[in-house]
Structure 1
Amino acid sequence: GSPRKLKSAGEKLVVVDFSATWCGPCKMIKPFFHSLCDKFGDVVFIEIDVDDAQDVAAHCDVKCMPTFQFYKNGKKVQEFSGANKEKLEETIKSLI
């Protein structure tokens, strides 16, 4: 489960991508999200399909897709919604 991943990540930055298969902007940014996985090896990237994990999405208070949440030491430190590649990469850089 994702909460376990958050805890096991420890000091590492965790980036959670809440998306849906029917969401156009989500599909658009997914290849970029995957390229960031390769670029930032010390960052933990998690993808959550809101339809498969409605409980998690509700618990994390996700209102629209894509929503990116950033966690450190199990605590949410940043969040934004929208398929903004520059903002996604800049946010990661600012938090690592």
Structure 2
Amino acid sequence: MGLCASRDDDEDSSAHYIMADGNVHLITTIAAWEEKLMLANQQDKIIIANFSAAWCGPCKMIASYYCELSRKYTSLMFLTIDVDELPDLSTSFDIKATPSFFFLQNGQEIDKLVGSNKAELLKKITAVVDAQGRPF
């Protein structure tokens, strides 16, 4: 099992992920990260950044659920960052464990979840959607 994602670069698709869903964007470069931050700000979207690793069992376990949530909550922007592919970005977020989910609004952290707790992830997503006052 892998993460469902669309790639935001021109690398070949032999990464550790299954590219199966366009609602989760796999970020593999700092340029792609910055582009998504800018786009989210322009569209007034909250970003959920999932810092994960291909070798991480809990990351693999929650991947399909994360994809499912991305299809339901289209008012949010779902990103996945492999901590091994972008170590500098991961360090800037002080990632100590994977998966780590960061909720960002206008580039600022508004919430965080460490671990693969499906119920808690859903709770945090519904809270940010409710705070936005918009449909999913």
If the length of structure 1 is used for normalisation, what is the TM-score? 0.95
**Residue 9 (str. 1) matches residue 40 (str. 2):** yes
Query: Mapping of 1:83-94 within 5 angstroms?
Result: 83-94=116-127
**Residue 28 (str. 1) matches residue 61 (str. 2):** yes
CA distance in 2, matches of 1:20, 1:53: 10
Structure having the higher helix fraction is: 1
CA distance in 2, matches of 1:35, 1:60: 25
User: Structure 2: which amino acid aligns with 1:3?
Assistant: E
- Runs of 4+ aligned structure 1 residues displaced above 3 Å come to none
What is the DSSP-based 3-state SS (H/G/I as helix, E as strand, rest coil) of the residue aligned with 1:63?
A: coil
For residue 13 of structure 1, report the CA deviation from its aligned partner: 1.1
Question: For each residue in 1:13-68, what CA deviation from the matched residue of structure 2 results, as whole angstroms up to 9, or x when unmatched?
Answer: 10000000110000000000000110001110000000101011001111100000
How many residues align? The count is 96
**Residue 64 (str. 1) matches residue 64 (str. 2):** no
Larger radius of gyration: 2
User: Structure 2: which amino acid aligns with 1:6?
Assistant: L
Q: What is the root-mean-square deviation in Å for CA atoms of aligned residues?
A: 0.9
What is the DSSP-based 3-state SS (H/G/I as helix, E as strand, rest coil) of the residue aligned with 1:15?
A: strand
Gaps of 5+ in 1: none
Which of structures 1 and 2 has the larger relative contact order (alpha carbons within 8 angstroms, sep 6+)?
1
CA distance in 1, matches of 2:71, 2:35: 22
For residue 3 of structure 1, report the CA deviation from its aligned partner: 3.0
